[in-house]
Amino acid sequence: MNSFDIRIPGYTIHSAVGHGGMASVYLATQDSLNRKVAIKVLRNSSEAGIGERFINEARYIAGLNSPHVITIYDISQLESGDYYIAMEFVGGGDVTENLARLSTPRDILAMIRQVALALAVVHDNGIIHRDVKPTNILFRKDGTAVLTDFGIAKDVDSDSDLTQAGFSLGSPAYSSPEQAQCLPIDVTTDIYSLGVVLLELLVGQNPFKGDSHTSTAVNHIQQPVPALPAEFTYLAPLINRMLAKLPGERYQSCREMIADIEKILEMDDERGGELSSPRPSALSRLPGWIKGGLATLATSAALLAVYFGIFYQSETEREIERLLGQADLRMQAGHYLAPAGDNARDFYRQVLALDSTNLNAALGVKTAEQRQLDAYLTQGAQALQRGRLQRPEGENALHYFRQALQIDAANARAHAGIAQVIDEYIRLARAEIIDSDYRGAHYYVDSGLSIAPQNEVLLSLSTELKQKREQRQAQLQKAQQQKPQQQVTQKPKEKSRTVRTVIRNVLDKFRDTISGD
């Protein structure tokens, strides 16, 4: 018997790791494999529905395959009737214990990306975690982030709501607006919670946390996302979308969000790794002469006003701020790359001309190009569906797909779209050949060859049409040669008919004369 008054066959209990409202977690060794494990023991398992939900938690996690989701080893029941789960022991602590490991924006984004990868797998398996928060994100010794505690997870394919008496709806400080209002939820609720974690790590506090659960819930529902410090403004599009009040305005999948995070990290690599610089505290950003003046509150307030005031901004900084504002307006209006000289990308490029290391502008260029690319691909697909292959000019499938390739020459969807245009010309040409409309078939073949001069199918159809044209010409020539012969054989008959007609007329007149006499 150990000092914790608990025995689990096959395991040696070493210490208590933590206690919650419904369960206790112990550090133990699995005797058969001599490995450290964490054992979560559910108290009062006999209460209606609680044991079943505990088992469901284990089954949910066991069905997931991700290096960023905690691993389940075993689930069983003690002699007392209480259930337990034996799982991977993650010894690196949670987010709150690893702030030193998360000292730079890049470290934070890398961790958020790993949790998002875990959530992507969770969501792919039809599960919503519903309790994403710093204490449910653990670290292995190698620094890998691991998502844990699926105790209130919801199976989106199940009709039953796992939230019952005694089970939390989630942690209020990280709950989505719809969670706070007990409304139906989807996978975007986890994205919102992860956005709160990201924001808290960047600014040093959770801006939605109030004095009570009620005030916190109201803040999530009503309070807008706070403006980020100047050094984090390039992350505003990411955070604002994660923390949108309406689920439909958030990222609709973790993979979509991961793509944007990776884009930011990639841009940072190209710009020399600004995100790897430690996050400056408000005090550390001040010059030494201001720090010394903080002893006198009135003096420090005046100095701070001067330091952070508009007069501190240089002319270049003000121009950059203006250009970024203009770029954002064009983005909102959908003017990503056009009209020339008055579009979002052009304004972002003007910023980069003034400050080549401006991540906000660099990311803006990429975002503007991506949005325009997506628009061209969508327009191309719609034009193709309507049969607008190369007409009308400037509003046809080929035009849109070629415009997409101007942005991304290797874009697979654009190349596939052009291939579909060619295939449609082939289909139309074959249909005309079947109907013996060779003129129409020639039009479609020539149109296809204008796009792909070396296309073997189109070249083969062109050869086939040439042969059919030659055959038709030969038939016409033969018909022309036969026509004069027919005319010659018909002439004597026509002559004899004429003679008979004259004789008949003479006889008729003779008879009329005799009758008259």
468 annotated binding-site participant: no
Residue with tokens 């008879």: 511
Gap between the Cα atoms of 118 and 145, Å rounded? 9
Q: Rounded to whole angstroms, how far apart are CA atoms 414 and 400?
A: 8
Query: How many CB atoms within 10 Å of residue 47?
Result: 13
Task: Indicate the Cα dihedral angle 51, 55, 57, 60, nearest 10°.
Answer: -150
Q: And the tokens for 351?
A: 């910023």
User: What gap in Å lies between CA 192 and CA 198, rounded to an integer?
Assistant: 10
Please calculate the CA angle 414-417-421 and round it to the nearest 5 degrees.
140
User: 242: Cβ–Cβ under 8 A, 6 or more apart, which residues?
Assistant: 191, 192, 194, 195, 198, 250, 251, 257
Q: Which one, of 139, 126, 114, lies nearest residue 257 by Cα?
A: 114
Region class of 195: left (phi > 0), else alpha (psi between -120 and 50), else beta: alpha
Q: How far apart are CA 242 and CA 82, in angstroms?
A: 39
* Conformation bin of residue 296: beta by default, left when phi > 0, alpha when psi is -120 to 50: beta
Give me 181's structure tokens. Answer: 């209002």
Say if CB 231 and CB 282 are below 8 A apart. Answer: no
Which residues on adjacent β-strands are paired with residue 137? 147
Instruction: Give the SS3 label for residue 17.
Output: strand
Catalytic site residue 517?
no
Burial of 353 (0-12, 13-18, 19+ CB in 10 A): exposed
Sign of the torsion angle spanned by Cα atoms 509, 511, 515, 517: positive
* Whole-number CA gyration radius for the chain: 39
Are 192 and 241 spatial neighbours (Cβ–Cβ below 8 Å)? no
Helical segments of 311-455, H only: 315-333, 344-354, 359-385, 397-407, 412-434, 438-451
68 half-sphere exposure, CB direction, 13 A CA radius: 17
Distance between the two ends of the chain, CA-based, in angstroms?
A: 160
The single residue of 131, 149, 260, 268 carrying the catalytic annotation is 131
Binding site members: 40
Active site residues: 131
Q: Which residues are annotated as a binding site for ATP?
A: 40
